[in-house]
Amino acid sequence: MSDTPSATAELKLPKDIAAEKGLVNVQIDGSWYQFPKGTRMIEACRQVKVDVPYYCYHPKLTVPGNCRMCLVQMGMPPRPAPGQEPSRDESGYEPIGWMPRPAISCANTVAENMGIRTTGELVEKCREGVMEFLLINHPLDCPICDQAGECRLQEQSVGYGRGVSRFVDMKVKKPKNVDIGPRIRLDDERCIMCSRCIRFMDEVASDPVLGFTQRGTHTTLSVHPGRLLDSNYSLNTADICPVGALTSNDFRFQMRVWFLKETPSIDVNCGTGTNIIVHTRGNTIHRITPRQNNAVNSTWMPDSHRLNFHYIDSDSRLTEPLTLSNGKHTSITWQTAYQHAADQLRKFMPAQIAIIGSARMTNEELILLKTLRQTLSVPHLSLVPRLADPDQLLIAADRNPNTTGAQLILDTTDPYASLGTIRSAIQNNQIKALLVFGEDLITDAGFTHGELSNLDFLLQTHLLANPTANHAHLVLPGAAFAEKRGSMVNLSGRLQRLNRAVEPPLNAKDDWEIIRDLISAISGDTAKIFLIEDVFKHISATIPAFANLTLSKIGHQGTVIAETAYKIPLLENERARIASGVING
């Protein structure tokens, strides 16, 4: 290097270099970093992996700054006297004058040449003091509390607390086990007044029913008189509650969190494709929580979707292939079931057969369905639409999770189009054999018992015992969303992955395997696909939108593969709030 360029570089101060990019220089624990203007100090620390404890702060919510746990030591360069040039060190930074009092890092934004210390005696003393105050009235019922194991108070008490309580007076008694809503239980003694739940209900769910009453140590979280915390997003308050004050009635006392295995997956209850974590122990799902994906669901999820998993464990699950003989279903082996299906289907002309699939199927299942259609040369293939009112937050009108995927895979703009045709053809006796995958025609598609009994051969794959299965000559047990791997495309065109959290019960099988084996039974060829990855390879080779992708390349946050006009309302709200600087996001 010659001297000339470095000499010119020396003229440029770090603050100018940063300013060119719209950034500011911040020293955190002795190292200099650059952050955009308006970044909160706590966010800055988090971005460079410096640990700052906090309770009330939430990146998606406004900042009240009331827990005081995120206290750090802050410093700014001393203001020079008029006419005096600030002194600089050899790197061009001004010396930092540290403030004698700590500042909360959540409510302050970074500034040029700012210094942040997250360690040191002052900060540690402050944290210890805050912890001690928080624990004054906090009951010691961790063995009972559901939050134990994922409790911020527990973790930070270990990390920053004193270990021994000096408090000798009686603790303030507050209401315990309060029924504040259909899905949420409140324990006021455990509350540390972080107000996250209040802000969430106000800012995100737009249903401000929570608030504080009383003052001082008697401050109590309560629900508005005459109201209940019955919003469809109420369970998110249990998620964001840093302690065990708000707990889910559904999960309450079911299982300690340290036993739970977490599997990242996606929700299949609507077209939004909310990212979730499935918590399992053994082969049982114990709860589902939202997983952060700023392009899909932020960090939230509706209660109705979250709690819709109990059917997976229910007694009405189909666990064996069933065949209808003399009006009764008897269980048979998979081998006989496939053979039976193939034998039956050979009796019909292709025009007499129709396939009804489901937009709840994964892309992999859909492409195999397409192959099945080609194998049988069936003219009619339709999926079942599922529409309901949207909620202007996360729940979309289209309650099928993979409509976009079906459009791409089946190469049609309306995969539901021919359902009516099929129905009328059944009524006219033109279609005598029907293959139904993952749908209950009577409940979900409005078919009548008469229409179905019109058929000579009805094959259904489904999870649960259902009215359609009563007419089915062959019922094949499939796998629930938490029991299979695969991919789906949500309404905004994002390809996302489902992961297997639990095994299908008894003899139930992954749906793609059922379709694959059906195809090979019908065509007589031995199946050459053994892995779901291979099915996806087939998709990426045949469908342009999926080109150059593999299941593992999708990633946990998904990949956008299609442009759609759909906007998720909740995300639109959030973006507006970020733009206005209310939250950091």
Please give the residue ranges that form the binding site for another protein (CB under 8 A). 141-144, 148, 176-177, 252-256, 258-259
Residue 486 CB, nearest distance to another protein (Å)?
32
Closer of 186 and 384 to another protein (Cβ):
186
133/20 Cα distance (integer angstroms): 44
Closer of 93 and 251 to another protein (Cβ):
251
Residue 143 CB, nearest distance to another protein (Å)?
4
Closer of 141 and 572 to another protein (Cβ):
141
Residue 311 CB, nearest distance to another protein (Å)?
21
CA dist list (Å): 233 to 184, 203, 275: 11, 12, 15
Indicate the length of the chain as a whole number. Answer: 585
Q: What is the CA radius of gyration of the chain?
A: 29
The amino acid that residue 306 corresponds to is R
Closer of 142 and 332 to another protein (Cβ):
142
Beta strands in 341-480 (DSSP E): 353-358, 380-384, 433-437, 457-462, 474-477
Residue entry with tokens 């005696």? 121
Closer of 111 and 255 to another protein (Cβ):
255
Alpha-carbon torsion, ordered 57, 60, 61, 66, to 10 deg? 0
Residue 157 CB, nearest distance to another protein (Å)?
14
Closer of 140 and 506 to another protein (Cβ):
140
Residue 253 CB, nearest distance to another protein (Å)?
5
Burial class of residue 281 in the structure, from the number of CB atoms within 10 Å of its CB (0-12 exposed, 13-18 middle, 19+ buried): middle
196 φ, ψ (degrees, to nearest 5):
-60, -45
Burial 546-575, CB ≥16 within 10 A → b, else e: beebebeebeebbbebbebeeebebbebbe
Residue 134 CB, nearest distance to another protein (Å)?
20
Residues 6+ apart with CB under 8 A from 401: 266, 267, 268, 269, 270, 271, 273, 359, 360, 488, 490
Alpha-carbon torsion, ordered 560, 566, 568, 572, to 10 deg? 100
Residue 502 CB, nearest distance to another protein (Å)?
19
CB-based contact 523:375 (threshold 8 Å): yes
Closer of 247 and 402 to another protein (Cβ):
247
Residue 161 CB, nearest distance to another protein (Å)?
17
Angle between helices 363-376 and 403-410 (to 10 degrees): 40
What the block records as the tokens of 472 is 């089915």
DSSP 317: B
Residue 145 CB, nearest distance to another protein (Å)?
9
532/365 Cα distance (integer angstroms): 10
CB-based contact 384:398 (threshold 8 Å): no
Degrees, nearest 5: CA angle 539-545-549:
60
Pairing relation of β-strands 457-462 and 474-477? parallel
Closer of 189 and 510 to another protein (Cβ):
189
Closer of 190 and 306 to another protein (Cβ):
190
CA dist list (Å): 193 to 208, 216, 229, 242: 16, 10, 17, 10
CB-based contact 245:219 (threshold 8 Å): no
What the block records as the tokens of 85 is 């040039």
Residue 170 CB, nearest distance to another protein (Å)?
17
Residues 6+ apart with CB under 8 A from 101: none
Closer of 143 and 226 to another protein (Cβ):
143
Closer of 30 and 143 to another protein (Cβ):
143
Residue entry with tokens 């992954």? 510
**CA distance from start to end of the chain:** 42
